[in-house]
Structure formats: structure tokens, C-alpha cells
Amino acid sequence: MSFLLRVFTVFVMCAPCVAFAQSSRLSGAFLHFGYGANEEVIRDDQIPALLDELQDLGNDAIIINQTRAGKTQACATSSTQFEWVKGFPSKLSTLLDAAHSRGISVFVGTTLSSGCWNFWQGTNSLSIEQDVYQSHALVAQQYASHPAFSGWYVSDEPGLLDADKHAHYQRVVAALKDVAPGKLVLVAPHFSEAESLSPATIASRALAFRSATGVDIQVWQDNLGATKLFHWSRAGYSSEQYYSALASALGASGLWADIEVFNYGKPLINRVGGVMTGGYRSASATRINQQLWSARAAAKRVSWLHQWHMSEVIGPSRGYVEAPLAQGLYRSIYGIGGAARLTSLNYSGYSFGTSPNASYPDSTGFELFDGQTGDPMNPTDRAWIGIPGAAGVVKMTVDLGVAKKTDWIGLHMLTYPSWGIRSSTSADVYCGQSLGSLNKVATISSPFSAAALLTSTGEEYLLGNTSPISAVCRFIELRVVTNGSWLFVSELELASD
Ligand SMILES: [Ca+2]
């Protein structure tokens, strides 16, 4: 490829990055406070710092995923079988005041039918309605006139909006509108298992659901893994196609997008020795950027779950050590607080110490910095670069062109044990003004072992640092430990604060 053509291609590929940078960011977040009377995930004293962080990142809405839940993992026969999540309802007073002072709206989660798979049927449905008239009526009485109280989120997820769920949601929405007239009601359907349904079919279901139930806003989960990004080569419809069809049917204001900010994994949560491997850990900010672009037809994009995957206030203390990395990289894409994305010189100024295999090439010469991550369900996706790891270490050397400060490094990788592909769990970072003067500045490592990856069927992971490196140099070199496995990489994310 000629130099001019290469530059032109990069410009075309990255033009949308600039165009949507200001318009399609996350502007809301789901927050999880607990699953019952004994769990308090977010203490009152953490609320100010958490809301400061959300505001700083551009959020103007939070959605509490539930304030009540089943006392046991069974379907209810009466509302007495539900309880307040620890701290509620009085926690709403703290939360609403703190949110209002920061210009943040609050949507209050209702009652979760813990462990009741057919929650929309029989006595469980009637118990949920009863709980609205008892518990949520009290919430409405006390807080509905608070300026930050913007509406309700119905905690039980309606899946693909099958018609047999209409009656339940109609009943619950009517009760919520009864106890708090004029307040919006949100639900969160998802594309999971939608592969066989066309965007037009999903859109017509969405419209029928709204007509039957009176739900105001459908916050569709993008379900990465189940749903593909537009540039992934596997068969099926993309989240972009679904969101586009939904916006046409519902109007943009009736549609929000719930963006998964965690990694795909199968199993999603793969624990070995009590430690999760890559699945459900913080996602690549590059991938989140593509998800947000794919959901641009919706009126608003909110994250699931900010506190685990992007919050420095709560994430690390709960074992989500990658949250500061995800936030640092996210800030760099949108220039929040002066953060900047770094790329190799002309995007292609990098080299691999071991050549990629011809079947999984770096086909453009700038795949590592092209803003596209590989499909975690598909090793043959063209976004993956496959490098043999028999030598034990793979070097990746990046020329930034001039000396720059690098704070964050994230390497997006695949684990696919049946193909002998495993994410690296450790890399040394070298830095220098010339290739002859490289010094080690950091070692980055995952919280899980390489052996633990064998119990995963497939997952993605972003290996990186968990506090800023602050290394100033022109050349950055990663010496990536492979443990002998194939290394499949799709993006190297570099950023300065
Ligand atoms: Ca890429």
C-alpha cells in the first residue's frame, strides 16, 4: 500500500472517531447497591466521590438497578417475601440530594424477583404489583417531588419482549404511574439470543411492547458476544443494525442503549481459586468506543456497570483492578480532562519481534492502532493478529515519533484454549529515546494466572497497568510473556492523562 493511500485509509477509518467524540459518549450509568438486606455495595460515605467521578466523565443520569429484592431465590407468593436492599429506602435521601447538587437525574430501581425465572407469571407478578403499592408508594410519597427523582427502572429484565410478558409489565407500569403520576418508566431488554430475529422483527416487538405496557423508555442492552460489532466478520446482525431499526420504530427519545463495559467470556464469569479470569473484567476503551458509535441512533447511552468496570472509587476495592485503566483509556478517546490518545508514528510505526503467522496477518500494517478490536467469539476475525508464542516472549516495539508521556497501556488479546490461544498474563514495559537506550519502566500483570485460562472456552482481556506509568520517551516496547501459547492481539491502547 502506498503511503498516501495508507494515510487516506487511516483518515477515513478515524474520521468518525472525531465526529462522534462529543455526541455519543456515555452519559448515564447503572449502579448496583446490593441484592438484599445484608449487602451494601455503595456506602453513603462513598456516594459523593462516586457521583463526582460520574459527573467528571460526563454523566447526567444514574439508574439504581434495584432497591428491593426477594428474600430467597424463589418466586414470591406475597410482597412480604421481598425486602429492602441494605440502606434503602433512606439511602435515597442521601443519593437524591447528592445527585441534584451535581445536575444528575436519578431513576429508582424497583423490585428484583431474585431467582424466579418466570417472574412475569402467576403469584410472583401479582406480588411485584403489590410491592409497588406498598413499598414504592412510600418512596413516591417521600421523594417523587424531589428535583432529582426522574422515574423508575423496572428491575426484572424483559428479554426480547415476548408477548406473554406484556400483561406483567402493563400491570407494574400502571401501578408505578398510579403511585407517581407523570414519572418515566424504564426497562432493559437485551439482544441476547436475538441472532435469529431480524432488526425489523425486534423493532416491531419493541413497538408492540410499548403499546401494550406503557413503558416510556426501552434501555436495550447491547450484549456483546451475543451481538456483533459492525466490523466483525461473523454472520448475523450487528448492534448498529438493531439500534437503527429500534430508533426508527420507537423514535430516538423512546430508546436508550445500555452499553456493556465488560469483557465477553464463556463462561462470562470464570473463577479459578476465587479469582475471575478475563470475562466480566473492564473492557477495552476502543471496543466501548465502537459500541457507543453503534448505538448512536439512541437518545442516550448508559453503562453497565460503571462502578465495577470504570470506577476508581469502587472498582479496585471490589477486585476490578482494571477499572482505573479503563477509565484512563476512555478519558483519552474523548479528551476528557486533557487526556490524549497516543498512536504509533503514522499509525504503522511499530514492529513485532516475532512475525505474525501468514493466516492471521497484520494485513494493513496498522491494525494495532486502527480503533477496531477483534471478535472474542471468533479467532478468524480479521481484526486479530496471530503471533506464534513458542519463544516464550513476543516483543512489540512502538515508535511514537517524538518523546511523549505515556500513562496507560492496554493490550487487547484473545483466549481460545481449543486453538492453543491464551491471553498473556504478564509483560515488561521498556521505554527509551532510541532503540539502543531502552530501560524497563514497569511490569504489567493480570490478577489471574495463565493456567486459570484453561477453564475458559473463550474470552477477551485487556492487559495493562493499574496506576499511571508516567514514562516519557519516543520508543515503547512491550515484552509480552506467552507461556508458549499463541498470542492473538487486536489493539494496543496508549494514553497520557
Ligand atoms: Ca485493531
Give me the pLDDT at residue 13, please.
41
Ligand 1 midpoint to CA 492 (Å): 7
Buried (b) or exposed (e) across 161-200, using 16+ Cβ within 10 A? beeebbebbbbbbebbbebbeebbbbbbbbbeebeebebe
Buried (b) or exposed (e) across 134-150, using 16+ Cβ within 10 A? ebbbebbeebbebebbb
Answer for the pair 113, 131: CB distance below 8 angstroms, yes or no: no
Ligand 1 midpoint to CA 469 (Å): 23
Answer for the pair 19, 51: CB distance below 8 angstroms, yes or no: no
Helix or strand (DSSP H, E) at 308: helix 306-309
Give me the pLDDT at residue 258, please.
98
Ligand 1 midpoint to CA 366 (Å): 8
Answer for the pair 442, 429: CB distance below 8 angstroms, yes or no: yes
Ligand 1 midpoint to CA 410 (Å): 12
SS (H, E, C) 406-429: ECEEEEEEEEEHHHCECCCCEEEE
Closest by CA position to 157, among listed 195, 198, 116? 116
CA distance 188 to 219: 5
For Cα atoms 423, 425, 427, give the angle at the middle one, nearest 5 degrees.
110
CA distance 276 to 119: 29
Give me the pLDDT at residue 22, please.
44
Helix/strand number for the chain, H first, E second? 11, 24
Ligand 1 midpoint to CA 59 (Å): 28
Ligand 1 midpoint to CA 405 (Å): 22
The dihedral formed by the CA atoms of 10, 11, 14 and 16, expressed in degrees to the nearest 10:
-150
Closest by CA position to 324, among listed 337, 309, 338? 309
CA distance 369 to 86: 45
Ligand 1 midpoint to CA 220 (Å): 26
Ligand 1 midpoint to CA 129 (Å): 48
- Which domains are seen in the chain, by residue range? 23-260+283-319 (3.20.20.80), 340-496 (2.60.120.1190)
Give me the pLDDT at residue 18, please.
34
Question: Distance of CA 54 to CAs 157, 310, 419, Å?
Answer: 24, 10, 40
Q: Which residues of the chain have pLDDT under 50?
A: 1-22
Chain-centre distance for alpha carbon 72: 29
Burial class (CB in 10 A: 0-12, 13-18, 19+), 11: exposed
* Adjacency order of strands within the sheet including 393-406: 350-352, 393-406, 471-481, 426-432, 439-445
CA distance 497 to 328: 7
Phi then psi for residue 283, to 5 deg, are: -80, 165
Give me the pLDDT at residue 196, please.
77
Ligand 1 midpoint to CA 104 (Å): 35
pTM: 0.94
Ligand 1 midpoint to CA 369 (Å): 5
Give me the pLDDT at residue 194, please.
65
Closest by CA position to 207, among listed 151, 259, 166? 166
Ligand 1 midpoint to CA 371 (Å): 5
Give me the pLDDT at residue 12, please.
34
Ligand 1 midpoint to CA 119 (Å): 42
Ligand 1 midpoint to CA 370 (Å): 5
Ligand 1 midpoint to CA 425 (Å): 20
Answer for the pair 154, 173: CB distance below 8 angstroms, yes or no: yes
Please tell me whether residue 202 adopts helix, strand or coil conformation: helix
Ligand 1 midpoint to CA 297 (Å): 24
Ligand 1 midpoint to CA 411 (Å): 10
Ligand 1 midpoint to CA 489 (Å): 8
Ligand 1 midpoint to CA 275 (Å): 28
Chain-centre distance for alpha carbon 460: 13
